[in-house]
């Protein structure tokens, strides 16, 4: 139960949950092709400690993201603030990691979710309002940053496009922008419930099982950018097959996960988009529990005027 009613305390608490979720995601072992406690996976420029450094560098921007939401600002105004906070946050991350991009996508997703949590607490609307708040904040994002940009670049060199723009042009994959504009349907509609349902597993195995579940559904732009649509379909099918034999709950499944990790690491396949959604799933689970105890304290702080 939350014992204080300070707005600043709530923002710090929510941001700390986001950092906790990032640390959980990085600690999940063996996460196929991803950085974990025991392996750098498909990566040669980062390791587990790089992720720890990166995650801890983002507490300040995540606090500011929550503060931006904890206000009377409109969803559009909040998102504009998040863009500015995110740029500063990326600079802090890169300074801490010597230029290695470890959490850019995660910062964007968690920043939006922190702000949505702050807005829900401020308005007293509860955890179930988060998808609609996220949709309102990111309304028109795909059209502004993908569709319209492609029109501008129609007659120019495709190499002038960003990775996200190029993937949208080639495959019509909306990526992280489409996911938030739709209110994070993979998380709210699937992985959050899956994570809760697997609470009987050890924490590591719960994370790993949820990662596999996300991988079978996620249109992972990290894989599309570095490989191909064929490779993405292979990753999705492999994750699905491992889950069908029990995943972490069976020796056969555990062996298959180890083999997938070795294969992906050798072939430099990194399902980073799925990893980001795992982090968001963990954060939203923690946030839902926190908001259950925080709401009544926030309401008294916001609406009761001292004598």
Angle at 74 between CA 70 and CA 80, to 5 degrees: 85
- How confident is the model at residue 174, as a pLDDT? 58
For residue range 38-78, what is the model confidence (pLDDT) as tens digits? 999 999 999 999 999 999 999 999 999 999 999 999 999 99
Best-predicted range by mean pLDDT (132-146, 225-239, 256-270): 256-270
- How confident is the model at residue 20, as a pLDDT? 98
Q: What is the DSSP string of the chain?
A: ------HHHHHHHHHHHHHHHHHHHHH-TT-TTS--SS--TT-SS--HHHHHHHHHHTHHHHHHHHHHHSSS--HHHHHHHHHHHHHHHHHHHHHHTTT--SSHHHHHHHHHHHHHHHHHHHHT--GGGHHHHHHHHTTTHHIIIIIHHHHHTTTS-GGGS-HHHHHHHHH---HHHHHHHTT-HHIIIIIHHHHHHTTTS-HHHHHHHHHHHHHTT---HHHHHHS-HHHHHHHHHHHHHHHHTTGGGSHHHHHHHHHHHHHHHHHT---HHHHHHHHHHHHHHHHHHHHHHHHHHHHHHHHPPP-
For residue range 242-287, what is the model confidence (pLDDT) as tens digits? 999 999 999 999 999 999 999 999 999 999 999 999 999 999 999 9
Residue 304 has pLDDT above 60, yes or no: no
Confidence category of residue 229, pLDDT binned at 50, 70, 90: confident
Could you tell me the pTM of the whole model?
A: 0.88
Confidence category of residue 30, pLDDT binned at 50, 70, 90: very high
Mean pLDDT across the chain: 88
Is residue 100 within 8 Å of 50, Cβ to Cβ? yes
Domain segments of the chain: what residues? 7-138+183-303
For residue range 73-116, what is the model confidence (pLDDT) as tens digits? 999 999 999 999 999 999 999 999 999 999 999 999 999 999 99
Residue 1 has pLDDT above 90, yes or no: no
Give Dmax (Cα) for the chain: 66
Which CATH topology does 7-138+183-303 take?
Triphosphoribosyl-dephospho-CoA protein (1.10.4200)
For residue range 167-187, what is the model confidence (pLDDT) as tens digits? 556 656 657 888 999 999 999
């Amino acid at each position: 139960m939350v014992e204080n009613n300070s707005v600043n305390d709530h923002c710090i608490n929510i941001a700390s949950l986001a950092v906790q979720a990032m640390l959980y995601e990085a600690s999940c072992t063996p996460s196929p092709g991803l950085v974990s406690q025991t392996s750098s996976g498909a990566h040669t420029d980062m390791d587990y400690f790089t992720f720890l450094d990166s995650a801890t560098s983002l507490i300040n921007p995540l606090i500011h993201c929550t503060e931006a939401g904890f206000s009377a600002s409109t969803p559009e105004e909040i998102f504009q603030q998040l863009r500015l906070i995110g740029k500063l946050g990326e600079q802090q991350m890169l300074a801490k990691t010597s230029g290695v991009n470890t959490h850019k996508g995660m910062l964007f997703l968690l920043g939006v979710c922190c702000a949505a949590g702050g807005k829900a607490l401020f308005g007293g609307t509860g955890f179930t309002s988060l998808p609609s708040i996220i949709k309102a904040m990111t309304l028109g994002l795909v059209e502004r940053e993908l569709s319209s940009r492609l029109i501008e670049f129609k007659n120019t060199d495709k190499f002038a496009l960003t990775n996200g723009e190029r993937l949208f042009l080639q495959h019509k994959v909306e990526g992280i922008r489409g996911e938030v504009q739709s209110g994070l349907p993979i998380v709210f509609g699937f992985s959050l419930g899956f994570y809760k349902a697997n609470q009987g597993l050890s924490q590591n195995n719960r994370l790993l099982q949820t990662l596999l579940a996300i991988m079978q559904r996620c249109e992972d732009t990290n894989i599309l950018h570095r490989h191909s649509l064929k490779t993405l379909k292979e990753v999705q099918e492999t994750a699905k097959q491992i889950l069908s034999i029990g995943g972490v709950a069976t020796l056969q499944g555990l062996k298959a996960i180890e083999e997938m990790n070795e294969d992906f690491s050798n072939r430099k396949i990194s399902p980073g988009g799925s990893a980001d959604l795992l982090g968001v799933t963990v954060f939203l689970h923690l946030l839902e529990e926190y908001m259950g105890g925080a709401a009544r304290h926030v309401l008294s702080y916001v609406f009761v005027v001292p004598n």
